[in-house]
Structure 1
Amino acid sequence: MKIAYLGPKGSFSHHVVKTAFPDEDLLAFANITDVIKAYENGLVDYSVVPVENSIEGSVHETLDYLFHQASIQAVAEIVQPIHQQLMVVQGQSKIEKIFSHPQALAQGKKYIDDFYPNVKIEITASTAYAARFISEHPEQPYAAIAPKSSAMEYGLEVIAEDIQEMEANYTRFWVLGTNLPPIPLKTETEKMTLALTLPDNLPGALYKGLSTFSWRGINLTKIESRPLKTALGEYFFIIDVEFTEKELVHFARKELEAIGIGYKILGSYPIYTIVEKGKERR
């Protein structure tokens, strides 16, 4: 099989696909839209994209493209713990610039302020790009904040581990495709993600829509609004629904249709969690 992911090598996305698809052909793409289009254009069997981070929130590029433009659905979710490391070229002892993605820099700000208050900060498109960049300039006093997989990929030395301020940092990734592939990870539970569009002439439409799940005892684990991109103040609503009672969810969807609330299924999927050695999820 061929699997598309958000590159470059050494990124969290790369670590996810290597863990979930250890024996498959992995193809890196420069942005999320291109990762999804790789499946739509028949270049790959599955596409893997980030959908939400526990600190930074939803990945809008993923959700908006899947709602507005794609017919592809999520068939699995993989949860990746996020741990940031400070790394340098082997033997480098002087640091004058630290490179990384803005989110990683923000997560490591306290550590940087405490130990490297005078260094210059340089923003990169991703943490893996930062690691690759400093590996290509070994003579420069550079460091990068990136995942451990980046250090392994580019031959860098980790000089400070887990410098992120918040320990409870996870990113959800969706596997997009037609059928559930074999994934060598333990599954926890199952969810369905729906995107609701509300009719203009139905007072209390959102309340009524959510009530179809509430009175059936179906738990919602997320609700978020996104612009419909039709007019100011018009939105669609993304909800994550526990999918253990499939028949109840089926009847809730039928009730949504009956009261005139449209919806698009973005996916129904089991959830897998990557457990890093020595870092059990709490």
Structure 2
Amino acid sequence: MPTTASSSTYSYLGPAGTFTEAALKQVPEAVGATWRSVNNVGEALADVVSGRSTAAMIAIENSVEGGVSATQDALATVPGLRIVGEYLVRVNFVLVARPGTRLDEVRVVNAHPVAYAQTHLWLERNLPGHGHIPASSNVAAAADLLQSSGGTGTADAAVAPPGITEHHDVEVLATEIGDNANAVTRFVLVSRTVPVPPATGADKTSLIVELPVDGAGALVDMLEQFATRGINLSLIQSRPIGDALGRYRFVIDLEGHVLDERVADALLGLKRFSPNVIFLGSYPRADATPVEVSPRYDDEAFVDARDWLRGLVSGVDPV
């Protein structure tokens, strides 16, 4: 990473106590550094581009809701960025209120839209007919309860992360209110463009690819760049480009590293196929699970094939 004056600053979606902060706590380089709380993904990435921060921690995917569209769209439109790591955070929620509030008194709930989507079944079951006010973050949802004079905000309760009582004077009405106990959010650490790290054998590569035409078979043609090289995709999600109906870009995570022969060959194929390929980075998988590769697609197979072709061209009969 850069070694400028801002190299010890990391941006994250705040305020303190968010799941994004929990992800940043997993970064060894961030220990003892300055952490800058921001309000949204755009501000976090602007910090990186401007040099205010070395890197920013942002949510990119949730096991329940899928890809985070705001992050995906920002990475597609802000140049000069590179994902340098990924981190997983188990996600669950508590319902909090101003001290003295009872659960049966709750009529309106403050919650970040993503948090609300992951708790709405519990809320509908336990608070039938409740109203929802969107919040800018999970911590802000709880903080907003205390903002108005006398603690009489519009919402009666808030969906917040566990540990919120360490930051705000609220009372926990219910714990483990997430609809899926196995919910996990994937975060990525984004820096300015840097050389890719060495391959570890347990890597992931992120791309954004546009189709050349809106026509039959275009998506299949793109996917064949991966399938014919034995590359598994762990994420593929379409996002509108915005310039016309039917025009989409695809956010892709694949198993492997750009220095792997099969991945490099696939990227060359994509570059010939697509009018715009954005390489977001190759980085170690958070779960450190080694990528399994068939012998047909390992590095040696690609090297042998190139050597065979060189022999043909030079007049050496294949052995």
Q: Give the shorter-chain TM-score range.
A: 0.7 to 0.9
**How far, CA to CA, are the matches of 1:188 and 1:168 in structure 2?**
27
Question: Residue in 2 aligned with 1:248?
Answer: 262
Distance 2:251 2:151 in 1: 48
Q: Secondary structure at the match of 1:61?
A: helix
SS in 1 for 2:167: helix
Residues 1:128 and 2:139 aligned together: yes
State the identity as a percent: 29
Where relative contact order (Cα < 8 A, 6+ residues apart) is larger, the structure is 1
Task: Indicate how the Cα distance of structure 1 residues 220 and 118 shifts in structure 2: closer, same or farther if over 3 A, else same.
Answer: closer
For residues 134-155 of structure 1, the C-alpha deviation after alignment (integer angstroms, 9 at most, x for no partner) is: 2446744932211013232224
SS, match of residue 154 in structure 1: coil
**Aligned with 1:26 (options 30, 35, 39):** 35
1:238 to 251, 258, 276: 251
Out of 210-219 and 100-109, give the one that drifted further: 100-109
Aligned equivalent of 1:207, options 203, 217, 220? 220
Is 2:178 the partner of 1:164? yes
Given that 2:201 and 2:256 are in contact with CA atoms closer than 8 Å, whether structure 1 keeps it comes out as: no
Contact 1:86 1:146 in 2 (8 A): yes
For 2:26 and 2:169, the matched residues in 1 are separated by 20
Bigger radius of gyration among the two = 2
Q: Provide the alpha-carbon RMSD of the alignment.
A: 2.8
State the number of aligned residues: 267
1:194 is aligned to: 207
State which drifts further: 74-83 or 6-15.
6-15
1:78 aligns with 2:92: no
Q: Call closer, same or farther: CA 1:259–1:131 in 2, change over 3 Å.
A: closer
Q: Would you say the 8 A contact 2:212–2:273 is kept in 1? A: no
Q: Which of these residues, 7, 14, 19, is aligned with residue 21 of structure 2? A: 14
The two structures have a TM-score, normalised by structure 2, of 0.74
Comparing 251-260 and 76-85, the one that deviates more: 251-260
* TM-score with structure 1 setting the length: 0.83
Corresponding residue SS for 1:148 = coil
Distance 2:73 2:121 in 1: 33
Gaps of 5+ in 1: 181-186, 274-282
Q: Where do 5+ consecutive residues of structure 2 fail to align?
A: 1-7, 288-319
- Check 1:119–1:239 CA distance in 2 against 1; reply closer, same or farther (3 A cut): closer
Identify if the C-alpha distance between structure 1 residues 99 and 189 changes in structure 2 by more than 3 Å, giving closer, same or farther.
Answer: same
